[in-house]
Chains A and B, each alone.
Chain A
Amino acid sequence: MNATRPTAAAPGGREGVARPRVDARGEVLLTAEDIGISFGGLRALDGVGFAARAGEVLAIIGPNGAGKTTLFNIVSGLYRAGAGRILLDGRDVTQAPPHRLAALGLSRTFQNLQVFFRMTAAENVMAGRHLHEPSGLFADLFRLPAARRANTATRRAALALLAEVGLADAADRPAGSLPYGALKRLEIARALATGPRVLLLDEPAAGCNAVETEEIDRLIAQVAARGVAVVLIEHDMKLVMRISRHVVVLNQGRMLAEGTPEQVRSDPEVVAAYLGTHGVAEASRAGARGDQHA
């Protein structure tokens, strides 16, 4: 449907091209190359790409409607790319459905929460352990020892993950009764339950207060430190500048810029399209704070 067009060079001569699997910044786990998609003739994404590396936080920023979540939906298999290629661990997964991608080590959270609201917090995370449960349907129907063992092991793993995101006390509360910030962390715990090597976080700090944002900040750094490649969509520039090593800026479905937080912050086109003067001030303040911590 969508013919692959030659990559339009992004402003500033930057291109979303494939990189070698291992480069100066580390082992590349996920590569999106030249991604394009159209909705009813409207080119929502065109020539967009990034490479996520083990142990690194990559941020994707851009104004509303830039195509960030669309890019996530393509990479996680919910949408099919009209053009381009996605490589997970060197394997072409452009056509793979989400559950296959999860099995290959890619998991995500959602901007608009997709919590299992009828379940308890613990059950939400337990559902995330689906791929690690060995029992079959027959064992489940007749409650054979395999099913009971799977249940016990899954619950233990889920409780450990809830403790990690600071929700140990909420384990047996219905998810629907938890506050917004807790649900954001619950989604992260559920995504972590799949044992991902690549984790996509869609605005994990949106709608969270300063304390909760700090908590999520710490959590993301902790996950990345374990060698997980974290890709982050976030509007909170302070958070982005503080924790990401590499930033990709989208604007109207195209790559506007990419580079280190410092490079992106000082890029005049990024400032004009997105950050504005206020954003720059905020980001530099965050950078200064980051330096103090370091």
Chain B
Amino acid sequence: MSARWATLLMLAAVIAIIPWFFPSGFYFRVAALIWVTALAAVGLQILMGQAGQVSLGHAGFVGIGAYTTALGPKYLGLDVLLCLPLGAAVAAAVAFVVGRPILRLKGHYLAVATLGFGMLVTMVLVNEVGITGGPDGTRVPRAALFGWVIRGGESFYWITGGALLLGVWVALNLQHSPSGRALAALHDSEVAARTVGIDVARHKLRAFVIAAVYGAVAGGLLALLNGFVTPDAAGFLASIEYVTMVVIGGLASVPGAVVGAALLVLLPQALTFLHEYEQAVIGLLIMLFMIFLRIGIVPGLAALLRRKPA
């Protein structure tokens, strides 16, 4: 069995089994939040881990997805479930237009340019009070599928879990495909990639658009899950958190992004007893992870496991 299928089976097993251990319905919501966050992080892993292009504005696309889903029914008269793919399409179009000029930049310059993009999205969401509700956010209509109103943590748990599984499957497919090889090649050496016939600009843009679609779908699901969206979903802090998830889980690893997301969603919940020291302890833990598992949790543990039996 390939590592790809092993990863998918493991994730499917985790999604299927953990509800048995939930002491209350509240945990369905926490877990659904993990799956949604992980979906956005997996998208960023494609851009950062596979193509090697940093983005400090990933949450901007999450915001676009979330707000399209929230506002589409009111302003376009569309069914809220139709607004989810619409958000993905809008994000893809925006990424296509924004990505062309900024993906020519490298390293720190690209980081700052993507940071600017994220801030731009947040500014629009905060300032267009009449449409977006401003900093207070806006309500998201309930979604209904053939008359069945989707509500309750458990329904969202299975929907978001399914979406994540699909997202991981696609990301793994990409990683082991000709297109994924082109991304890995330009990640390692753009010069060499170009001389073997890889259109570097085109492949970078593709990765950027794919990451944006992941972010927007996650944003749309997040809006449906919470029933409410605020500009924080698109904010700078959220963007940094996505980057942290991908790096901490293991840049090169798709499941690493899921583990990183789970960690960053769970830690604040688990450490509430520390009160005002909660953030400080999270920061410390992130530092320790980086110092002792620099290649990331998933690749780091995999390397440890390989060493042991020998």
Contact = CB atoms under 8 A, between A and B. Distances in A.
B234 interface: no
Q: B185, B195, B210: which has the most chain A beta carbons within 10 Å?
A: B195
A137 B176 CA distance: 12
Interface in A85-125: 97-99, 101-103, 107-108, 110, 114-119, 123
How would you classify the secondary structure of chain B's contact residues: helix, strand, loop or mixed? helix
Interface residues of A, number: 40
A151 B184 contact: no
A99 B193 CA distance: 8
Interface string B156-184: 00000000000000100110111111101
Interface stretch (A38-46, A188-196, A238-246): A188-196
Given A116-B188, A127-B184, A141 B170 contact: yes
Contact of A110 (B170, B179, B185, B192): B192
A147 B181 CA distance: 12
Nearest to A98: B194
A123 B185 CA distance: 9
A224 to B, nearest CB: 20
Contact of A114 (B174, B191, B198, B252): B191
B196 A140 contact: no
A147 B196 CA distance: 19
Contact of A150 (B178, B185, B194): B178
Nearest to B190: A114
Nearest to B184: A119
A76 interface: yes
B184 A102 contact: no
B247 to A, nearest CB: 16
Interface residues of B, number: 28
Interface string A128-150: 10110101010111110001001
Nearest to B173: A143
A114 B192 contact: yes
A114 B189 CA distance: 6
A118 B192 contact: no
A30 B189 CA distance: 26
B184 A140 contact: no
Q: A130, A139, A143: which has the most chain B beta carbons within 10 Å?
A: A130
Q: A76, A110, A143, A190: which has the most chain B beta carbons within 10 Å?
A: A143
Interface in A181-215: 190-191, 193-194
B196 A78 contact: no
Contacts of B185: 116, 119, 127, 130
B184 A115 contact: no
B113 interface: no
A232 B124 CA distance: 56
A130 B173 contact: no
Interface string B44-72: 00000000000000000000000000000
B204 to A, nearest CB: 13
Contact of A140 (B177, B191, B197): B177
A154 interface: yes
B163 to A, nearest CB: 15
Contact of B196 (A119, A154, A190): A190
Q: B173, B197, B198: which has the most chain A beta carbons within 10 Å?
A: B197
B72 to A, nearest CB: 25
A126 interface: yes
B187 interface: yes
Contacts of B188: 115-119
Nearest to A108: B195
A47 B217 CA distance: 56
Contacts of A97: 194
A138 to B, nearest CB: 10
Given A102-B197, A140-B180, A147 B187 contact: no
A132 B112 CA distance: 36
Contacts of B189: 114-116
Nearest to B200: A99
Given A118-B188, A141-B179, A151-B176, 12 more contacts: A99-B195, A99-B197, A107-B195, A114-B191, A116-B193, A123-B181, A127-B184, A140-B177, A141-B173, A147-B173, A151-B178, A194-B196
Interface of B: 170, 173-174, 176-182, 184-185, 187-189, 191-200, 206, 210, 252
15 contacts: A76-B195, A98-B194, A115-B189, A115-B192, A119-B188, A126-B181, A128-B196, A130-B182, A130-B198, A131-B197, A135-B178, A137-B206, A140-B179, A141-B170, A151-B177
Query: Closest 5 interchain pairs by CB?
Result: A102-B197, A140-B177, A114-B192, A98-B194, A116-B188
Interface of A: 76-78, 97-99, 101-103, 107-108, 110, 114-119, 123, 126-128, 130-131, 133, 135, 137, 139-143, 147, 150-151, 154, 190-191, 193-194
